[in-house]
Amino acid sequence: MHPILKYLSAAAVATAFCASASAQVAQNAIRPPAILPLSSEPAPKLIPYAALPEPLARGVVIIQFRTENFRVMPVFGKPAVDISPRMGHLHVTVDDAHGTWAHTSEDPIIVVGLTPGPHKLRLELADPSHKILATEVVAVTVPDLKVSGSAAPSASHQH
């Protein structure tokens, strides 16, 4: 191949590449960014629902919840604080006890073994460094299973 043809071929490829890159930049300029700065995101919200009645009648507290502008995930540490969209976990406290646990999924919160009577579950949205972003309290009353007469039916066996 003649050396000038090699040069023209390389120049044609470079020109086509530059034109394609320029078109890509122009196309990306009209699209919104895939990730927004945290300062421009709306505040996170936690929306808990009342305990499910059927399990509660058996003494099992199941609290479903949803979040807005926040994802519940097992993410911890200062570097994850600036990730968008916001993510973190829930802190769950029963009856203002000293013990709190981290709930790290969008699965319902399940509490068993509470004494009969009124209880409060404090749910807190926490960022990966444990800074509290929102708090909600869910009140539940666990029935006294001995008084309510919901004893387990006896099993009968046939041989």
Question: How far is it, in rounded angstroms, from Cα 136 to Cα 129?
Answer: 19
Distance CA 143, CA 58 (A): 8
Residue 1's pLDDT is 56
Tell me the two tokens of residue 139: 């009140």
- Could you give the CA distance from residue 70 to residue 60 in angstroms, rounded to a whole number? 27
List, in order, residues 6 or more apart from 89 with CB less than 8 Å away.
72, 73, 74, 75, 76, 102, 103, 104, 126, 128
- CB-based contacts of 106: which residues, under 8 Å, 6+ apart? 66, 67, 71, 72
pTM: 0.68
Q: What is the 3-state secondary structure (H, E, C) of 36-80?
A: CCHHHCCCCEEEECCCCHHHHHCCCEEECEEEECCEECCCCCHHH
Q: Can you give the pLDDT at residue 44?
A: 93
Q: Assign domain 38-148 to a CATH class.
A: mainly beta
Is residue 58 within 8 A of residue 113, CB to CB? The reply is no
Tens digit of each residue's pLDDT, the chain (159 residues): 555 545 445 444 444 445 445 555 555 567 655 555 566 778 999 999 999 999 999 999 999 999 999 999 998 998 888 887 889 999 999 998 888 999 999 999 999 999 999 999 999 999 999 999 999 999 999 999 886 554 444 444 444
pLDDT at 159: 40
For residue 72, the model assigns a pLDDT of: 96
